[in-house]
Each structure stands twice: as C-alpha cells, then as structure tokens.
A and B are shown apart, each in its own frame.
Chain A
C-alpha cells in the first residue's frame, strides 16, 4: 500500500513538473504582454522532434539537448517578429492574437506531420541507469525533470526579481504607460519574453521526451495540461504555475493509481473546473476586473 502511494506520488510529481514547466512558459509571456502563448505546446513538440532527429544522426548527447533549445528560441523570435509584432504594437493583447496563435498551432502540427510523419520517435534518457528507491523503480529521467523545474524556477525568480531586465519586464506588464515613460521599450520586452517562453517550451519538450516520446500531436496534450495548470494556479504567478502543475499531476496520478486509469483525466479536469468555480482567479491568483 505504502509502495503504491509512493509510486503514485513520484509519478504525480513528475507529471506535475512537466505541466508546471509548460505553465511557466505561459506565465512569462502573460506577465509581460497579457497574451496567452498557446504556442508553447508546439515549441515543446518541436524541441523534442528536433532532438529525436539529431539523436538519430548520432550526435553527442549534449548537442541533442542544447541544439533544439537554441533552434526553437530562434524560431520563436522569428514567429514574434513576423506575425505578432505589428498587431501587438497596434492593439495590444486581444483575443484575435490568441486566435492567431491557435491557427499557428495547426501550421506547426501540419509542418511536423509532413516532415516527420505520424510515427512516435525514440528519445533516450539523458543518462541511463537503474534507479531504485525503497523498492520502487524510477524512470532514470525523473531526476532530470525535477531538476530542470527547480533550476528553471530559480533562474526565472532571479531574472524577474534581481536583474534590471527582470524589473523592466515586470514594469511593462504592470504599468505599460509608466514603463514607457521610464524609457522601457515594452515591445522589446514582449519580444524577449516570447523568446524566453519558446526556449522554456523547447527545454520542457527535450527533458520530457524520454518519458513520453516525440510525436507530432504531443504539443496539444502538453498545451492542455499546461494551460489548466496555469489557470488553476493563477496566471500571473510563478508559484501558481508550480502549484497548479503539481495539483493537476498529483490528482491525475492518484486517481490513476487508486480509482481508475480510464477516468484519471476526467477527474483531473473535473477538479480543475471545481477549483475555478470556487476561485475563478486561480488558487494563488489575484482577482482582476475585466474592462
């Protein structure tokens, strides 16, 4: 019994870390631009796909990890400059821009389908070894996923709270007009946040690929989990992303372990709706009025 609880706990935290990473990428863009970067799931998918392709060509492991992140960050920069920069400068964050991002999901899925086909691609664990804790075997990728989340959160907190770039990023989110008067270019800040979010998405994709494999539709699944975590936690908070991710992951794994594996997603989404019905702004969020 204890073993089963521990097992569910570990897999739940791992799943939660994945959702939290995606939610983190959403939070960064939302904090700076008030936009929902729904492309983040696609960035993760492209990261894992590029990584799997590089692995198949026999490159060393660190290149398989680093190159996709850089490539996707560059792609993210290009997407912002070509598609989002002008409308965002004109109207700010609107539903139309979120819908553009939704349309771009299809562009990315279609491209991935045509390049890589519909097959699941293998991706090795970063380091292959047997990991046993108290009689439970743990996937060797688990420590990496936990570590990346911790490092990511630490790095982002440092960036947002301690550096002048972070202050500029926060300022352009909170008081765009005042930030502009202080000489902060809020469009450049939006651009930076989008690149950062793309890189985090790719990082998430690469780190979780050994666990979930690379597939052209994986981005949608990650997006759903990440979005729900992002909303459950409260869209403006880094802590919210982590809390929301872990909440979703743990509920899913515990219902999977103890109630029924068929209904685990149903119960996870259901409990999410209950949370939002009670606290519409998210668990840690702050209520904002709509204008």
Chain B
C-alpha cells in the first residue's frame, strides 16, 4: 500500500494550466456577471481578509477571539478620521490604520494570550462592546449617524469609484494575504504553532519544553489578524464612503468567529469560504423569509448552521471538501488495481 500514489499522475503543467484558467476567470468575472453580483463579490473579497486573519489564530494559534469586527471597525474609523481631519491620502491612511490597529492588538494580547482558557475571547468581546459604545457616542466619530463624505482611493486623477475597480484592488489584497499566510504556515512560526497543536500531535506543554514561547506566537497571530481586519476596514470605509457603528456591533464580533468556523479554520481557503458562505446565506435569507425581521432570521440561521457544522462537520466547508477529495482519490486508486 505504501506505493507512491498512482491515482494522481498528473503532469506538472496541468497545475499551471489550472491556475492560469482560474486567474483568467477571476479577472474577467466582473464583465461576465451583472453589477449586483459584482458588488456581492466585492463584499466577499472584503470580508475574506478579516476571516483569513482570524482563521490563523483559531486554526494555527489554538485560541479564538471575539474582537475581529472591532479591529475591522478600528481600521475603518482610524483611516477615515486621518483622511478627513488631516487630508492624508487614503493609501497612506490604509497603511497607518493597519499599523496602529496591529500595534494596539499586540499590546492588548501580550498579557492575555499566555493565560489558559479563552480569556482573550472574553476581553476582546468586552473591548468590542466599549468600542461600539464609544463610537456611537463620541462627537468626533459622528455618533449613530457616523461619518460621510470619506474620500475614495485614487491613482493620480483616476478615482476608484466603480465596483469592479474595488474588485481588482481587493483581488490583489486577498492574493497577497493568501500568499503571506501560505508562507507563514510553512515558516518557523508555523512549525512552532504545529508543536503546540493537539490536532497535529503536539501540546502546549510539549511546545513549551521546546522553548517555544506560546504566548508570544499567539500574540503575533492575533496582531496579524487585527492588521488584516484593519486593512479590510480601511478599504471598506473608502469604498462605501460612509461609515456608522452598526456593522461593528457585538453581534458582528460573534458572527466573524462563527464564519471562520463555518469556512474551516484549518485551511488557508477557510476565510474565503466563510465569507462566500456568509453572503450566499444572506442572499437566501433575504430572498425567502427575510422580508420581516431580517436580523432575527440572520441570528437564527447562522446560529443553527454553525452549531450543526461544529457538531457534525469538523473542519467546516473546506474540511469537508478536503475529506470528499481524499475519499475520491482513494476510490480512484482502488479502482486502478
């Protein structure tokens, strides 16, 4: 049985053809589908970095946070305020807000991520509550009405004001983050996370005995997740050009964690799958029962879907797809004999 697998004797160029075809489809997508579906794709790509960051912390760091929407909001508000109050270019505020949010997350996480138990989840949820309350009350953030008239991204005199402009921008951002995550998982840090992961046969105690500073690694992943969320938040603010506290409320904090679980935290594709699943389910809800009390139906649907997924589909969507592929390969190789 220990033969090199015969089932997948594909030549190496097949992989590149597949990647090339995939790229062409992605690049031409906004011109093939309508404007409405393009805007949904923009939102899927916008939410992907948020969930991809959190997936690193959940899947590789073995901790979970309930503050991802807060960092999303922090990025959006910092970027907005910097660009409106000081007239800084949105590109620069994107970088600044990401750096500030990441630094804040590092300082917050350092004392709390060495503690056993999901303390960081409780604290980030508390911080999220505070952030939401502050933003809804302070004068500088415009209270419940929020801030409007946020400048758009522009290159020279070319303003990114169409959905498909943002689609291409976000495609680049998501690709960069995906490659970054891929490298990270294979780097020294990624190997250290595997030493503390019970799923791969390690444990916290084992990692500590190998002089791995588990708290520090988790803090780095946590700060990275916050940075990704802030990047998404900044792009969100300069795309919608109007922000208010509602998308960053405590329920969004819970939602992002559940979406990561739904997409599959142990996969690099998990964040993207979670974001896609979110908007697909949202569309289904609004097309069927969501005419009355849409928020109530959203709470109920996501709660039930994720509960069932946690109990019966470990690994979420990507984990299940992976298992189906394994099963298919095994079947194919057993047919060959």
**A contact set with B: CB distance below 8 Å:** 36, 83, 87, 95-96, 98-100, 102-111, 113-114, 117, 220-221, 224, 227-228, 231, 235, 262, 265-266, 269, 272-273, 276-277, 280-281, 288-291
Contacts and interface: CB of A to CB of B under 8 A. Distances in A.
A188 to B, nearest CB: 21
B116 A106 contact: no
A99 B301 contact: no
Contact of A102 (B63, B108, B112, B257): B257
What is the predominant secondary structure among interface residues of chain B facing chain A? helix
Interface string B312-325: 00100000000000
Given A113-B299, A265-B130, A103 B117 contact: no
A222 to B, nearest CB: 12
Nearest to A105: B254
Contacts of B114: 280
A107 B125 contact: no
Interface of B: 62-64, 66, 108, 111-112, 114-119, 121-123, 125-127, 129-130, 133-134, 137-138, 203-205, 214, 250-251, 254-255, 257-258, 261, 293, 295-304, 306-307, 310-311, 314
A90 B321 CA distance: 24
B299 A224 contact: no
Contacts, number: 137
B129 A106 contact: no
A17 to B, nearest CB: 19
Contact of B293 (A108, A113, A277): A113
Contact of A99 (B62, B204, B310): B310
Contacts of B203: 291
A224 B126 contact: yes
A281 B115 contact: yes
A95 B115 contact: no
A102 B298 CA distance: 15
A224 B249 CA distance: 14
| A-B pairs with lowest CB-CB distance, top 10 | A110-B300, A110-B299, A106-B303, A113-B296, A107-B303, A277-B111, A290-B116, A103-B306, A280-B115, A227-B122
Given A106-B258, A269-B130, A277-B111, A114 B306 contact: no
Contact of A103 (B129, B137, B214, B310): B310
